[in-house]
Structure 1
Amino acid sequence: MSVGKTQDGRFYVQYRVQYRNSPKREYFGKGTEAKRAARERDAEIKLMKTRNEDVRESHIYLDELAKAYIEHEKVKGRDRKFLIEVRNRLNKSFLPALNHVPVHKLKARDFDKLALEYKDLSNSSFNRYITYLNVIFNFGVEFEHIEKNPMTNWRKRVMKREKPRDLEITIDDVRAIMAHAAPHVQKAIKLILSTGCRPGKSELLRIKYSDVDFDAKRVRIRGSKTARSDRYVPLRDEFLAEIRGWQDAAESDYIVEFEGKQLNGFKKGFNAAVRRSGIGKKVVPYHLRHFFASSLLANKADIKAVASLMGHAGPDMLFKVYYHLIGDSEKEAVEKLPTL
């Protein structure tokens, strides 16, 4: 056990805890006060040793909570690319800004460091990075590592309104892409436009024929976050009939397949179809999910129903991103009030 100092000037105390293989480190930040806090904690640990007491860990720090979260997501089979991005955020900014005190002692001024660091990012990137951190804290609360999320109120205040997502592509664009797409890409496009599922392995590429309930006329979309986020999306009769046709000729259990195997992605094939279509637009698979949401909202679909179909916990995200479409329906509702 001892007081140490990192290369970037942060003081820490390192000691061993029973049942833990590697030494435990507690960080206290930079400066005179941080050095004093580290020495006080070191003295406390030495006193425990003198009394032959087990050294007690202080409250959990972000690095430990994040490690528990990432391990949990690995077990769930979370996309490796996502976990790498979260780790990068942790190492580059979250831990340097927030690992100097236990989670329960974090204050708004600590999170403000991140806001300053991210101030030049686009609104969508800013919100995405802040959300990564929020998810880690929510995990901590759910699994009783911490009592409450320390950034809840701060996050509500700083989240930025994203640029309105208009219909980046039209139905004619989609038809042109479809006309130049390979069969497995066509299936992917139709599934996204019919269900609003997330492209990629998190949702779309996990859909099996066994997830389709032909009697109830719906498909099960397996949640990308927790088992509780599984949802069921209604399907039209004509699309159900098309899926039956696919199933008759299927070589695997997965609806979107290639040569009888589940796909890890279809971006290359999709990009080729976009290029050959000649629409002259930079389109990615996620635009199809936006098309699904925008089309429903522009046609006055219920905002809560759309949020449920897309797998959101509530309508907050849709209000932030598609408010320009939702606003029209609100105006229409107000105009229906009786005249006095």
Structure 2
Amino acid sequence: MPPHLRMFLALLIGTASRPEALLQLTREQCDLKHGVIDLNPPGRARTKKRRPRIPVPEFLRSWIESVSFGPLVTYKSKPILKINGAWRAARNAAGLSPEIVPYTIRHTMATELITRGVPEIEVASLMGHAMPNLRTTGRYVHVRPDFLANAKQAIDEVASAIDRVAARSMVNFNMRANSVLDSTAKDDTPMHKSQKTVGFLPEQMVGATGIEPVTPTMSR
């Protein structure tokens, strides 16, 4: 995936938010000191599609820190209104069904949180769903030390699981790649030096494994 799509997907996993809210999310809305993201930008009226305040999962901090100011999801340093094209390209490359859309991640994360025993009221608050007892307390709940603690922990657990799967996938990829290179070498076919170094350990391929943000160093 290109960097802007990786950022978008990390935000989807880390917030379970609506895609349009994440495309509009800015660095200024992310208070890392207090560990809170306000999905409702300044000046925007609160609508039926609530954009709540949510906690910052630990895995998402490095992604947010990689942006100095402005929108978190950008392409060529410019904000993005729609991400459909990049999403379709990545989905097709992964061989996934056309039914897999950004909203699928939101629904999947809600399912994961419920499956992992996160209280319904926390899931509702994270997703921006209206609940009677959240109407009056919702504006204050984010100042509590245990603010959506169960939801935050569950999200980090999901991120860790994805990281482990990605690491195993990279190991399997390198084993297959090295096998191909070995068979090619036996045929005495000339190979460029760079072709002989395809295999890397997962921890060496930081930019290509897990869910770490891509930095200039990783790109090199």
Shift, 1:233, TM fit: 1.0
Shift, 1:218, TM fit: 1.8
Give the 3 Å change call, closer, same or farther, for CA 312–280 of structure 1 in structure 2: closer
Q: Deviations over 1:157-196 (max 9, x none)?
A: xxxxxxxxxxxxxxxxxxxxxxxx2111111111111111
Q: Identify the match of residue 205 of structure 1 among 23, 46, 65.
A: 23
User: Match of 2:40?
Assistant: 222
Q: Identify the match of residue 308 of structure 1 among 102, 125, 130.
A: 125
- Between the aligned partners of 2:113 and 2:88, the Cα distance in structure 1 is 25
Structure 1 position 285 matched with structure 2 position 102 = yes
User: Match of 1:186?
Assistant: 6
User: Match of 1:139?
Assistant: none
- Between the aligned partners of 2:94 and 2:85, the Cα distance in structure 1 is 14
CA contact (8 A) 1:206 1:222 kept: no
Give the 3 Å change call, closer, same or farther, for CA 225–298 of structure 1 in structure 2: farther
- Between the aligned partners of 2:45 and 2:123, the Cα distance in structure 1 is 18
Larger Rg: 1
- Between the aligned partners of 1:184 and 1:242, the Cα distance in structure 2 is 11
Q: Deviations over 1:103-159 (max 9, x none)?
A: xxxxxxxxxxxxxxxxxxxxxxxxxxxxxxxxxxxxxxxxxxxxxxxxxxxxxxxxx
CA contact (8 A) 1:218 1:234 kept: yes
- Between the aligned partners of 2:45 and 2:120, the Cα distance in structure 1 is 22
1:88-103 pair list within 5 angstroms: none
- Between the aligned partners of 1:280 and 1:243, the Cα distance in structure 2 is 30
Identity %: 25
Matched positions, count = 129
CA contact (8 A) 1:199 1:285 kept: yes
Give the 3 Å change call, closer, same or farther, for CA 215–207 of structure 1 in structure 2: same
Q: SS of the counterpart of 2:60?
A: helix
Shift, 1:280, TM fit: 4.5
Shift, 1:242, TM fit: 2.6
Q: Identify the match of residue 242 of structure 1 among 54, 63, 67.
A: 63
Amino acid at match of 2:121: K
- Between the aligned partners of 2:35 and 2:108, the Cα distance in structure 1 is 22
CA contact (8 A) 2:37 2:53 kept: yes
Instruction: Structure 1: give runs of 5+ residues left out of the alignment.
Output: 1-180, 316-340
Shift, 1:269, TM fit: 0.5
Shift, 1:281, TM fit: 5.7
Shift, 1:230, TM fit: 4.0
CA contact (8 A) 2:7 2:63 kept: no
Q: Deviations over 1:245-291 (max 9, x none)?
A: 2x15xxx6100111111111101100110000124563111101001
User: Match of 1:91?
Assistant: none
Please give the root-mean-square deviation of Cα atoms over the aligned residues, in Å.
2.2
Q: SS of the counterpart of 2:14?
A: helix
1:33-44 pair list within 5 angstroms: none
Q: SS of the counterpart of 1:219?
A: strand
Amino acid at match of 2:77: G
- Between the aligned partners of 1:282 and 1:204, the Cα distance in structure 2 is 20
Q: Identify the match of residue 297 of structure 1 among 107, 114, 118.
A: 114
- Between the aligned partners of 2:58 and 2:112, the Cα distance in structure 1 is 19
Q: Identify the match of residue 232 of structure 1 among 53, 60, 63.
A: 53
Amino acid at match of 2:37: V
